[in-house]
């Protein structure tokens, strides 16, 4: 009976609190009078005092860790207590967060100038780099913060003119004052009535669904606006071209001739808005029937608008994925994979992916011990398999790779699964393929090299006869992508003889599709003088010439490039402790904003590598097959359609289309 009375008193207290909040003074007076008359108890709000006390403790701990330079404690408190809507949307909060990262990075340099702990400083630099590649990436477009992006690459920031302000005595007190002012506002307890809190909490999923529907509506509106603008521009262009053609008809009536060159120029203008410029320029419009057939094709009925899939309650989904039974988990993971991979290419698939990302399906910023990603450690094999499939589906799309790269624990979980799963398991295969796709991103390459994934891959490729074609191909491609980085080359140089032995053995493997990756890896690591010397002692040149006897001109030319590099000598070698390369430029000649002039220009497409040369940029196996297909087509004429010759290369500097990327990269995994 006592519990019921206490609950009733709390409910009446919440009603009174809400009425006061909305200034219903007369209603509050009548409410008190009637409660007193009926002998009802009305509780008083007691949460504000507790909230104030907790807020003061949090603020004190944040300022204390700021003064002590304890970045781990500070950012743990920052993540847990600063509202996400403030951290992620407020420009002042984002600016302050950047300065705080700078403060903790250079803290050892300020505390012990000239005799700081180098290992501690390197660790802080590593954290700062990770921040710049994730949450801090957006600020790279602002001129105020651009100079600080060079901080990780300057050996001694204390003497560099670009960072002299950071080491002034006034810099820390000013930053601390800004931090105090921000915390006093951001941590201020809310006066919102408890009744409203309950309402919002119970209706949160409805609000989220409405927000998602609003995003979908905005996307469709933007699409229609673009279509309308294009139609308007095409109409205006057609008016001009039509006038010229009427003039030409009148001229022919009076006996004047129309030159083929004039017709070609008119048709190029006519079709330039509908086709790629290179295709238009190469089309011979003077051939009878060409232009008319293309015009008729351009007005053929277009497919209807693609319907959007229904919105989902992602909070309930994530809860059941983490807490539900294995059977339900497996079915949910399978359904989420299918929703992404079986959606229609284009707007529908893009909307599905954006819904997954905006609702943080994989919980990238979660500090909970158990998240959806931790299911990769599940004891149930089917659950592990479908988590790996889902991650692979994300990794197959450019936006998905961006999202995955912002999850700090992801690579640790994937490499752990790679090392613990059975060799023939589908979970392991999907994890490997996902890692290979993630290796297109520079930040992920760095983390993989640091985790000694190169050593694992060398051991894996050594036993190539026991690997499936898929595992072999993606392992070789991943190894090559990591070897293209300087750190990756140095890692290979630590055990050059073993690495060279594995690579030369792979050249004789019956699966010839791995050869471009093996050649690319060889060409890359032979840039290191010690590796070249080891290769000469192992007679690698004779091995390459043995394989070059086969009837494959492209492969033979690649071998020639590798042999030429093998026999090259470095004319200039830096002396011990002598600056060279990038460290020389950034230490003595670092400028501010010297590379901004072309920052906003439209990037030019990457040139395709020559068929003669080994691969020198990160690729995926499916993208490399497309490059070879294009080369064959240019040399031998048209090829019949295949499942490989429709997808553009997937490289670190370009993005594949959503449709083709999923069709070829995921299709075999779902």
Nearest CA-CA partner of 105 in 93, 120, 95, 91: 120
Could you report the per-residue pLDDT of 609-644, keeping only the tens digit for each? 555 567 777 777 766 655 554 444 334 333 333 333
Could you report the per-residue pLDDT of 435-476, keeping only the tens digit for each? 999 999 999 999 999 999 999 999 999 988 888 999 999 999
Let me know: does 28 contact 19? Beta carbons within 8 Å.
yes
Give CA–CA dist 648/460, Å, rounded.
29
Tokens of 314: 């992602």
Give CA–CA dist 408/411, Å, rounded.
7
465 Cβ neighbours under 8 A, 6+ residues apart: none
Give the Cα-Cα-Cα angle 356, 92, 218 (nearest 5 degrees): 35
Could you tell me where the beta strands, DSSP code E, fall in 154-307? none
DSSP, residue by residue, 143-182: TTTGGGGGGGG-S-GGG-GGGGGGGSTTHHHHHHHHHHHH
Confidence bin at 286 (pLDDT 50/70/90): low
Let me know: does 29 contact 45? Beta carbons within 8 Å.
no
608 Cβ neighbours under 8 A, 6+ residues apart: 627, 630, 649
% residues pLDDT > 90 (the chain) = 31
Helices (H), 421-495: 426-438, 442-450, 453-462, 469-483, 486-493
> How high is the pLDDT of residue 634?
38
Give CA 442 to chain center in angstroms: 10
Let me know: does 485 contact 467? Beta carbons within 8 Å.
no
Let me know: does 452 contact 487? Beta carbons within 8 Å.
no
* Predicted confidence (pLDDT) at residue 191 exceeds the cutoff of 70: no
> How high is the pLDDT of residue 607?
46
Q: Alpha carbon of 341 to those of 353, 441, 634, 647, 669: distances in Å?
A: 10, 22, 32, 16, 10
> How high is the pLDDT of residue 285?
58
State the helix-helix crossing angle for 553-566 and 529-537, rounded to 10 degrees.
110
> How high is the pLDDT of residue 153?
82
Sign of the dihedral defined by the CA atoms of residues 15, 17, 21, 24, in that order:
positive
Lowest mean pLDDT among 8-12, 156-160, 307-311, 645-649: 645-649
More confident residue, 198 or 125: 125
Give CA–CA dist 627/607, Å, rounded.
11
Terminal C-alpha separation, the chain: 57
Average model confidence (pLDDT) across the chain: 79
* Predicted confidence (pLDDT) at residue 158 exceeds the cutoff of 80: yes
Give CA–CA dist 412/418, Å, rounded.
10
Give CA–CA dist 222/228, Å, rounded.
10
> How high is the pLDDT of residue 301?
63
Q: Alpha carbon of 150 to those of 163, 239, 619: distances in Å?
A: 10, 53, 28
Sign of the dihedral defined by the CA atoms of residues 329, 330, 333, 334, in that order:
negative
Helices (H), 272-308: 277-282, 290-298
| Alpha-carbon Rg for the chain in angstroms | 32
% residues pLDDT > 70 (the chain) = 77
* Predicted confidence (pLDDT) at residue 184 exceeds the cutoff of 60: yes
Q: What is the mean pLDDT of residues 478-499?
A: 93
Could you report the per-residue pLDDT of 528-539, keeping only the tens digit for each? 999 999 999 999
Give CA–CA dist 377/207, Å, rounded.
33
120-124, 292-296, 337-341, 635-639, range with greatest mean pLDDT? 337-341
How many Cα atoms sit within 13 Å of 192 on the Cβ side?
10
Give CA–CA dist 535/496, Å, rounded.
8
State the helix-helix crossing angle for 621-636 and 469-483, rounded to 10 degrees.
90
* Predicted confidence (pLDDT) at residue 247 exceeds the cutoff of 50: yes
DSSP, residue by residue, 441-461: SHHHHHHHHHTTHHHHHHHHH
Could you report the per-residue pLDDT of 14-36, keeping only the tens digit for each? 888 888 888 888 998 898 899 98
Let me know: does 359 contact 370? Beta carbons within 8 Å.
no
Confidence bin at 288 (pLDDT 50/70/90): low
> How high is the pLDDT of residue 296?
67
Lowest mean pLDDT among 45-49, 396-400, 413-417, 658-662: 658-662
Could you report the per-residue pLDDT of 324-355, keeping only the tens digit for each? 999 999 999 999 999 999 988 888 889 999 99
Nearest CA-CA partner of 523 in 548, 553, 492: 492
Nearest CA-CA partner of 647 in 662, 632, 637: 662
Lowest mean pLDDT among 503-512, 566-575, 597-606, 658-667: 658-667
Give CA–CA dist 110/123, Å, rounded.
16
Lowest mean pLDDT among 104-113, 293-302, 384-393, 459-468: 293-302
Tokens of 44: 């008083």
Give CA–CA dist 419/354, Å, rounded.
31
Going along the chain from its start, the domains and CATH numbers come out as 2-46 (no CATH), 49-187 (no CATH), 206-285 (no CATH), 311-451 (1.25.10.10)
Could you report the per-residue pLDDT of 382-431, keeping only the tens digit for each? 999 999 999 999 999 989 999 999 898 899 999 999 999 988 899 999 99
Give CA–CA dist 2/114, Å, rounded.
68
* Predicted confidence (pLDDT) at residue 137 exceeds the cutoff of 90: no
Tokens of 416: 């752990």
Confidence bin at 652 (pLDDT 50/70/90): very low
Confidence bin at 654 (pLDDT 50/70/90): very low
> How high is the pLDDT of residue 567?
86
Nearest CA-CA partner of 419 in 476, 468, 376: 376
Q: What's the pTM?
A: 0.52
Tokens of 509: 């493997």
């Amino acid at each position: 009976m006592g519990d019921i009375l206490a609950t009733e008193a709390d409910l009446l207290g919440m009603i009174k609190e809400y009425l006061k909040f909305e200034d219903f003074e007369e209603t509050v007076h009548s409410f008190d009078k009637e409660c007193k008359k009926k002998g009802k108890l009305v509780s008083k709000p007691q949460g504000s005092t507790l909230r104030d006390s907790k807020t003061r403790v949090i603020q004190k701990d944040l300022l204390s860790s700021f003064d002590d330079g304890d970045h781990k404690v500070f950012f743990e408190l920052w993540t847990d207590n600063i509202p996400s809507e403030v951290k992620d949307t407020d420009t002042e909060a984002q600016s302050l967060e950047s300065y705080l990262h700078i403060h903790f990075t250079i803290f050892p340099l300020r505390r012990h100038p000239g005799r700081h702990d180098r290992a501690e400083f390197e660790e802080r630099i590593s954290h700062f780099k990770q921040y710049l590649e994730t949450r801090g990436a957006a600020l790279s477009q602002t001129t105020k913060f651009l100079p600080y992006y060079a901080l990780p690459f300057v050996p001694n920031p204390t003497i560099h003119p670009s960072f002299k302000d950071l080491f002034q005595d006034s810099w820390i007190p000013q930053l601390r004052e800004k931090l105090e002012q921000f915390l006093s506002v951001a941590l201020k307890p809310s006066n919102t009535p408890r009744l409203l809190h309950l309402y919002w909490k119970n209706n949160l999923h409805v609000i989220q669904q409405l927000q998602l529907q609003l995003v979908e509506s905005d996307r469709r509106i933007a699409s229609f606006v673009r279509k309308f603008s294009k139609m308007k521009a095409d109409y205006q262009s057609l008016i001009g071209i039509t006038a010229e053609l009427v003039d030409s008809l009148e001229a022919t009536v009076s006996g004047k001739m129309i030159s083929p060159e004039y017709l070609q120029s008119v048709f190029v203008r006519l079709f330039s808005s509908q086709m790629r410029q290179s295709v238009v320029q190469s089309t011979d419009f003077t051939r009878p029937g060409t232009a008319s057939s293309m015009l008729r094709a351009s007005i053929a009925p277009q497919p209807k608008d693609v319907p959007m899939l229904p919105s989902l309650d992602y909070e309930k989904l994530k809860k059941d994925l983490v807490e539900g039974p294995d059977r339900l988990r497996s079915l949910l993971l399978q359904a989420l994979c299918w929703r992404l991979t079986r959606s229609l290419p284009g707007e529908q698939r893009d909307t599905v992916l954006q819904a997954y990302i905006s609702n943080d399906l994989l919980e990238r910023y979660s500090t909970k011990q158990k998240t959806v990603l931790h299911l990769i450690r599940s004891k149930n094999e089917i659950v592990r398999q479908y988590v790996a499939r889902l991650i692979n589906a994300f990794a197959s799309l450019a936006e998905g790779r961006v999202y995955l790269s912002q999850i700090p624990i992801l690579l640790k979980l994937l490499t752990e699964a790679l090392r613990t799963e059975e060799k023939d398991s589908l979970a392991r295969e999907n994890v490997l393929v996902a890692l290979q796709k993630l290796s297109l991103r520079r930040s992920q390459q760095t983390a993989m090299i640091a985790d000694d994934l190169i050593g694992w891959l060398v051991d894996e490729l050594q036993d190539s006869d026991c690997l499936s074609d898929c595992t072999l191909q993606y392992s070789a491609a991943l190894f090559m992508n990591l070897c293209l980085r300087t750190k990756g080359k140095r890692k290979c140089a630590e055990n050059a003889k073993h690495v060279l032995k594995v690579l030369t053995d792979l050249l004789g493997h019956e699966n010839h599709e791995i050869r471009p990756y093996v050649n690319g890896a060889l060409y890359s690591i032979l840039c290191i003088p010690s590796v070249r010397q080891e290769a000469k002692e192992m007679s690698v040149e004779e091995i390459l010439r043995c394989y070059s006897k086969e009837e494959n001109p492209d492969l033979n030319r690649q071998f020639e490039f590798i042999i030429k590099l093998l026999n090259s000598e470095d004319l200039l070698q830096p002396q011990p402790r002598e600056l060279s390369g990038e460290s020389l430029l950034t230490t003595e000649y670092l400028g501010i904003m010297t590379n901004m002039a072309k920052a906003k220009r439209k990037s030019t497409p990457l040139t395709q590598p020559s068929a003669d040369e080994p691969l020198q940029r990160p690729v995926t196996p499916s993208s490399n097959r497309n490059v070879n297909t294009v080369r064959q087509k240019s040399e031998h004429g048209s090829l019949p359609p295949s499942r490989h010759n429709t997808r553009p290369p997937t490289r670190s500097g370009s993005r594949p289309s959503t449709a083709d990327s999923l069709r070829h990269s995921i299709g075999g995994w779902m």
